[in-house]
Structure 1
Amino acid sequence: MTERLHLIVAFLLSAGLPAVAAPCQFEAQGEARVAAITDARSVRFDDGREVRLTGIEATATTRQALTSLLVGRDVILRGTDDTPDRYGRQGALLFIGESDIPVQSMLLAQGDALVSAEITDKDCSAALMSSEAEARRQKKGSWADPSAIKNAESPDDILAGIGRFMVVEGKVLSVRQAGAMTYLNFGRNWTHGFAVTISKRNLPAFESAGISLKSLETRRIRVRGWVEGTTGPRIDVRLLGQVELLGANEPTGVRP
């Protein structure tokens, strides 16, 4: 694993993905040396600070990949906000040495992470999505698993992953509003079928992007987020980047 990741870094630094990295060049927020990986998305520096990697969600291989990639390396932190979270961790994009490619892009490009959609900067978000899409096309890392993308027509498979971050694809059968919530329904049985929920307070982001939720009816989409629910699985969409429109010829469901 260590040799493979070091080869990946060398390739990316010398020849790969410069256009992908450039949009994520936010303000520098300091430098440090990585002492340890504390969990699949967090690192501890030798000065005691802890940083949470923004823009990604972990897969089964993320922590091992980070350990091989970062421990003992000097990194630069970049971001738009250095306010620590409730655990005292600063959120940031990490760059190894003078590289202009974020570590997040390296992980995504090898299928060792998923895009979280939390970065709202349009260009940086698109760049991270591009890295993930390439890994998906090549079936790298977690995308080698045929069940990496869940089929919206199989709600029981999605519900089995309650409490996990998942990627789901399918056709929106109906769009309904109930109170302050809009439901994108993927099944005819609204109680048991998979659905996406979008609160009224989050509608302006879609409107600003020129997307009417009603226009998603009969469209095929890919959605990502944390699975909730009891009888029927739900993903609550708070950010525009959680929803991707799919082309008519793209395969639905389990195949990346």
Structure 2
Amino acid sequence: MFKTSFVRLATLAALSSVSAAAMACEALRMVPGGMVVQVTDGDTVVLDSGLVVRLIGTQAPKLPLGREGFPTWPLAPQAKAALEALSLGQTVRLGYGGEEVDRYERALAHLFVEGREGEQWAQQAMIAQGLARVYSFPDNRACLDLLLAAEGRARAAGLGIWSDPYYSVRAADRPEELLARAGHYELVEGRVLLADRSGGRVYLNFGRFWKQDFTAVIEASALRLFAEDGFDPMALEGALVRIRGWVDDRDGPRIEVTHPEQIEVLATQ
């Protein structure tokens, strides 16, 4: 049984943003947040208490923020401006659904902005505009179904980042192009040629030459999460999938999969 079914995605797509957010995030631990007094970039805000909040579940285009030699990603200023328009000076609530603080002492939370027309879920709003993409962690997986559905709609419409080649979905059968993106967070689509279990890991091979072609590697710790979800990655052999994660170069281009939501099943045959 696959984690994400076409029926589930279709249902999510049909829901309104307000009702869908309530359904998806009702299990979050909700707390008052205060007022947003600063927006650092498209996925980080500062509250009047001094608390820095990282909008968990999303990755907006990055700004240098004082890092020497770090390039401004395409549409990064627009993403910051959009989050400012949504949240700056507004009262917010925070929703926690996993690990709550990162190594930089930032709160890892879903941000709900109080407004005249009701409460808006900042993560969903940014993704729906094509100004952020889904970026998840094994210890923070709440609300991802709806965020993935919103991303799919924005991508299909070519909104925001999805009209810029920098963020294009990459083809798994072009390993040389993927190698050029090593060190980058990417979405990669292709058909799994072989699913193989070896040494406590599962390897999803997208080509015949595993030392050259693209591979997704699922470590033992991640396989436990797959088992809990009833998602057997060995059943992905022959399936058309979309993998998201950081590309590295180890026996060809590869992505390490740490949790099930990194894999979207597009077709089983």
One-letter amino acid of the counterpart of residue 74, structure 1: T
3-state SS of paired residue (1:97)? strand
- 1:20–1:130 contact (8 Å) kept in structure 2: no
Question: Does 1:110 find its partner at 2:129?
Answer: yes
**Following the alignment from structure 2 to structure 1, what is the Cα–Cα distance between the partners of residues 48 and 102?**
20
Deviations 1:117-145 (CA, angstroms, capped at 9, x unpaired): 33423xx2211111111111211111123
- 1:78–1:92 contact (8 Å) kept in structure 2: yes
- TM-score with structure 1 length normalisation? 0.82
Which deviates further from its counterpart, 190-199 or 61-70? 61-70
**Following the alignment from structure 1 to structure 2, what is the Cα–Cα distance between the partners of residues 85 and 211?**
28
One-letter amino acid of the counterpart of residue 108, structure 2: G
Deviations 1:190-244 (CA, angstroms, capped at 9, x unpaired): 1111110001222132233333222111111011111112551111111111101
- 1:225–1:237 contact (8 Å) kept in structure 2: yes
Which deviates further from its counterpart, 182-191 or 197-206? 197-206
Match of 1:215 in 2: 235
Aligned CA-pair RMSD: 2.2
For structure 1, list consecutive stretches of 5 or more residues without a partner in the other structure: 1-14, 250-256
Question: Does 1:18 find its partner at 2:18?
Answer: yes
Match of 1:204 in 2: 224
- 1:57–1:115 contact (8 Å) kept in structure 2: yes
Identity %: 34
Match of 2:255 among 225, 235, 254: 235
Question: Does 1:120 find its partner at 2:141?
Answer: yes
The Cα shift of 1:33 comes to 1.4
Which residues of 2 match residues 62-141 of structure 1 at below 5 A?
A: 62-81=79-98, 83-97=100-114, 99-118=118-137, 119-121=140-142, 124-141=143-160
The Cα shift of 1:67 comes to 2.9
**Following the alignment from structure 1 to structure 2, what is the Cα–Cα distance between the partners of residues 216 and 113?**
28
- TM-score with structure 2 length normalisation? 0.79
For structure 2, list consecutive stretches of 5 or more residues without a partner in the other structure: 1-14, 62-73
**Following the alignment from structure 1 to structure 2, what is the Cα–Cα distance between the partners of residues 199 and 217?**
17
One-letter amino acid of the counterpart of residue 113, structure 1: A
- 2:189–2:243 contact (8 Å) kept in structure 1: yes
Match of 1:169 among 169, 189, 194: 189
Match of 1:225 among 245, 253, 258: 245
